[in-house]
Structures are given as structure tokens and as C-alpha cells.
Amino acid sequence: MECLSSSQGKVSEEDKVIVIRELRHKYKLADLLRIAGIARSTFYYRIKSMGKLDKYENVKSSIIKIFHENKGRYGYRRITLELKNRGYGINHKTVQRLMRLLDLKCMVRIKKYKSYRGEVGKIAPNLLNRKFKATKPNEKWVTDVTEFAILGKKVYLSPILDLYNGEIISYNISERPTFHQTIDMLKKAFDKIPDNTELILHSDQGWQYQMIRYQKMLKQKGIKQSMSRKGNCLDNSVMENFFGLLKSELLYLQEFENIDHFIEELSAYIN
């Protein structure tokens, strides 16, 4: 019933009437009208003007079905796409409004670990420049760090992804975002390739990627360092998309016994 309150922002009178009509079988009509600030006469006038048939009845049923089929992981954009796949011609704003009326809230919330701390070292040029297609393995790699909030604690994942086929080349899972985590990931990746491959390793401007030791290791291996522009997540969108998919498929709506259990499942997902 929160969306009936004026504190929830600008909600049209028509939308409030629709919500009241949906909820009147669960709550007293007088209470709903009081919360919405709508007179009884206005409510009945609106109902009459709308007609007895709900033109979105079938759409709402499909929205509910799609939402639960995907265990609450789909937001209004993905549900709109799925509705179109099923033959409904409807725009995302209408789907968003109907989901709000149905009190369907996507359970997926992506939280990015912000590693940028200003210029603590040398900033590399953006060699990748959003050219995410690679013609062969080990031509273009991307890396980043993401944060998981699980069981009241935090876990950090630092992987390297090959843009040729989406393979995770190496990774490190840690309960703290340390420089050792980044170096360990890098060493594991180096074991899989020869020297002087001339591949590009792209990242954001996180503090760990500005460190002299990190940059020296890349240079010694013959790897070209590339960095996103400041505050521009689209420059590393493939890595961002991987994190989003990983979280939606693994983390949300699943239960873990403890942190070790989560780390075990995370490793299994990546491998």
C-alpha cells in the first residue's frame, strides 16, 4: 500500500484508483481511500469511467508469470523484452507502472566496488577504446573487482576475462580488496601465456592498477596496459556485464551456509 501514499512521489489519481481496486479484497476500502487521499465518490466515478474491463488484465497475468518464472530476477526492462517475445506490443514505462501496481520488485541489486582513489600513480591510455571484439585468444583481456555482500560480510572477486570467448583466465577471491589479490590474479594469468604476446590488459583507473609494481609486471611480460576514462563504466562494459550476470545467477535468492560455502559455489560457477 506504500504507493498510495503521497510521500511516494507523484502518483496519478488514476493509478491510485487502480491500486485500490486491486487491493480492496484484502483491505478495507475506507482505509485505502484514506491513505490515498481520495473521496469515495471520486473512486466510484473513476471506476465507472474506466469501465468494468481491465485492458491490461492479460498483460498483468503474463508479467506475474514471467516475474516468478525467473525467481524475481527480472526487472521491468527484461520483462518488457520477454513480453514482446510473447507477442505483446507494450512499452517499458507501462510495464514499470504495472509492476509497481502489482508490487513486483526485482530482487537483483548490483553494487559495484569503487576502487578509484584519485591519481595515486600513472594513468594509462585507453587503448581498448570500447573495441571489445578479439580475433584470437589472449589478444585482449579485461579485469576489475566486484564486491559481494553476503551473510553480513563482504567478499571480493578479481578476475581477468578474455574478450575472445569470455573465458575467465584467472581470478582471486578474497575477504579484503588488497593489492596482493590483484598480484595473485596476475601471476596466475601469466602462467598461461608466453612472454611478449603484445596483448592488451584493460581496467578502470582503480588504485591497484596504478601501482608501480603492477605496471612493471605488465611491461616485463610484454603486455600493453589500457585504462578506462575516469568515471566511464561503459569503457569496461563487458566486465560489468559479467559481474551482473554472475550475481543474478549465483548470489540472489540463494542461501549459503557460511562464507566458505559461498566461496566454494562462486569458484564452481567461474570454473
Phi-psi region of 196 (alpha: psi -120 to 50; beta: other; left: phi over 0): left
How far apart are the C-alpha atoms of 43 and 101, rounded to whole Å?
Answer: 16
User: What residue type is 135 in one-letter code?
Assistant: T
* H or E segment and range at residue 242: helix 237-246
Distance spanning both ends of the chain, measured CA to CA: 44
User: Per-residue confidence of the chain (271 residues) as pLDDT tens digits?
Assistant: 555 665 555 677 888 888 888 887 778 888 889 888 888 888 888 877 765 556 788 899 899 999 888 767 677 888 999 999 999 999 998 999 999 888 887 654 545 556 545 565 678 999 999 999 999 999 999 999 999 888 788 899 999 999 999 999 999 999 999 999 999 999 999 999 999 888 999 999 999 999 999 999 999 999 999 999 987 888 999 999 898 888 877 766 566 788 898 899 899 889 8
How far apart are the C-alpha atoms of 242 and 158, rounded to whole Å?
Answer: 12
The three three-digit cell numbers of residue 135, written as one number: 580475433
> If one looks up domain 140-270 in CATH, what number appears?
3.30.420.10
> Where in the chain is CATH 3.30.420.10?
140-270
In sequence order, what are the beta bridge partners of 140?
A: 200
Residues with Cβ < 8 Å from 201, sequence gap 6 or more?
A: 141, 142, 143, 160, 218, 223, 224, 225, 226
